[in-house]
């Protein structure tokens, strides 16, 4: 049976399989007789309605419901394990990309040290009066992940409202199928481009986003680019955040919309492990070593030209990191949602089994009483 039928048994307010939540409160409230709401005239409940836990269907229907719940529970459990495996692969992608980012940070720092006394004129670091802002909104490609997509879309809506209050123009670069569908249904929101990922983020995906925002910023169509994505915190928590993507800091610092910057050499690494038979996440703060270049080292090219070539690479790496964090958050949200659905399906199956056994016992008892009564009548 489809998952929508299962949701219909559990709660009449659930609209799709993504919202599986078979709470105890509903199981208790669903036993109230009809008309028991506020303002209803008091009526003596019928014996069938007064009996707690009564399901008005036959044994065959109950058996069908129990089997459907069991099948759906298997599906949700399998989806949870698949999401866990994908989280591991996302972590491996983050680890494999660290050597490149560490070397890039090292070179960026040392070049900046030699240019501290110079007036750097790099297009990506040019700070202009802000008249128009580009918002890069990163959502997921699929549902069944709780409130993951809804949280980042609400964050984008709040940021758009703030920009309107400031009297500034804006344009959206949507990344992800869910965000694309949301903004396509709202033609009043200007969207520059719709992008889809379709799996684990790659350098090619990050480059497509970087090329778009790079052209917008260099051509002065926008004066600032902000990146909205979901930062991975743990398996049960993810935070939608906003970072200023352009203009870049010469040191490659990551800054939020309030101007609070994070050192580019400081990083956090998360590992998905098991502890006492349960999945858990360990976070580790890592400081990228940035040894100074040799004083006798000389550049064949102007250091400003080298910096001009490195900053686009750094921009690409930051976008790729944000895509990886967003994917990890989505998979963690899906793991949590499927885990809750599995637990709720198990509870619903237990309650249906109790009801089935009671009705079956009552039917057997009634048949025995009929046999005894018939035997007494013949005696």
Largest CA distance in the chain: 118
Q: Residue 217 in contact with residue 132, Cβ under 8 Å?
A: no
Residues 6+ apart with CB under 8 A from 303: 111, 114, 115
Query: Is the bond into 247 cis (omega within 30 degrees of 0)?
Result: yes
Q: Residue 173, Cβ neighbours under 10 Å: how many?
A: 24
Give the distance, in angstroms, between the CA of residue 57 and the centroid of all CA atoms in the same chain.
39
Is-contact 105 267, C-beta < 8 A?
Answer: no
Q: What are phi and psi for residue 135, nearest 5 degrees?
A: -110, 115
Distance CA 109, CA 337 (A): 42
Joined together, the tokens standing for residue 345 give 């399906």
DSSP 230: E
Of the residues 57, 145, 255, 261, which is catalytic? 145
CA dist 331 and 31 (Å) reads 36
Buried b (16+ CB within 10 A) or exposed e, 329-358: bbbbbbbbbbbbbbebbebbbeebeebbee
Q: Within 10 Å of residue 319's Cβ, how many Cβ atoms?
A: 25
Q: What is the DSSP string of 157-187?
A: HHHHHHHHHTT-EEEEEEESHHHHHHHHT-T
Does 145 qualify as catalytic in the annotation?
Answer: yes
| CB-count exposure of residue 323 (10 Å: 0-12, 13-18, 19+) | buried
Distances (CA, A) of 33 to 44, 321, 342, 352: 10, 54, 29, 19
Q: Write out the catalytic residue numbers.
A: 145
């Amino acid at each position: 049976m489809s998952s929508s039928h299962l949701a219909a048994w559990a709660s009449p307010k659930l609209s799709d399989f993504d919202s599986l939540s078979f709470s105890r409160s509903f199981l208790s409230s669903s036993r109230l007789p009809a008309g028991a709401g506020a303002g209803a005239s008091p009526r003596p409940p019928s014996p069938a309605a007064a009996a707690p836990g009564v399901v008005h269907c036959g044994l065959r229907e109950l058996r069908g419901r129990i089997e459907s719940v069991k099948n759906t529970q298997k599906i949700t459990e399998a989806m949870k394990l698949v999401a866990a495996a994908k989280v591991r692969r996302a972590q491996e992608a983050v680890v494999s990309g660290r050597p490149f980012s560490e070397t890039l940070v090292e070179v960026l720092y040392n070049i900046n040290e030699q240019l501290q006394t110079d007036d750097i004129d790099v297009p990506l670091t040019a700070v202009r009066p802000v008249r128009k802002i580009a918002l890069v909104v990163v959502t997921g490609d699929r549902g069944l992940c709780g409130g993951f997509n809804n949280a980042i879309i609400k964050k984008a809506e709040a940021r758009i409202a703030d920009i309107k209050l400031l009297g500034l123009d804006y344009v959206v670069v949507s990344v992800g199928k869910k965000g694309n569908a949301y903004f396509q249904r709202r033609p009043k929101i200007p969207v520059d481009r719709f992008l889809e990922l379709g799996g684990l983020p790659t350098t090619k995906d990050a480059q497509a986003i970087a090329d778009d925002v790079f052209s917008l910023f260099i051509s002065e169509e926008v004066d600032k680019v902000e990146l909205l994505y979901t930062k991975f915190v743990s398996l049960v928590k993810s935070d939608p955040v906003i970072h200023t993507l352009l203009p870049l800091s010469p040191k490659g610092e990551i800054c939020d919309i309030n101007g609070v910057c994070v050192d580019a050499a400081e990083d956090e690494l998360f590992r998905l492990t098991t502890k006492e038979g349960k999945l858990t996440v360990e976070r580790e703060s890592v400081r990228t070593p940035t040894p100074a270049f040799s004083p006798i080292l000389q550049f064949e090219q102007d250091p400003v030209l080298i910096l001009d070539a490195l900053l686009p690479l750094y921009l690409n790496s930051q976008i790729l990191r944000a895509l990886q964090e967003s994917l990890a958050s989505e998979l963690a949200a899906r793991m949590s949602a499927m885990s809750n659905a599995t637990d709720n399906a198990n509870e619903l199956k237990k309650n249906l089994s109790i009801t089935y056994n009671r009705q079956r016992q009552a039917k057997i008892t009634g048949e025995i009483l009929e046999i005894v009564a018939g035997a007494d009548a013949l005696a």
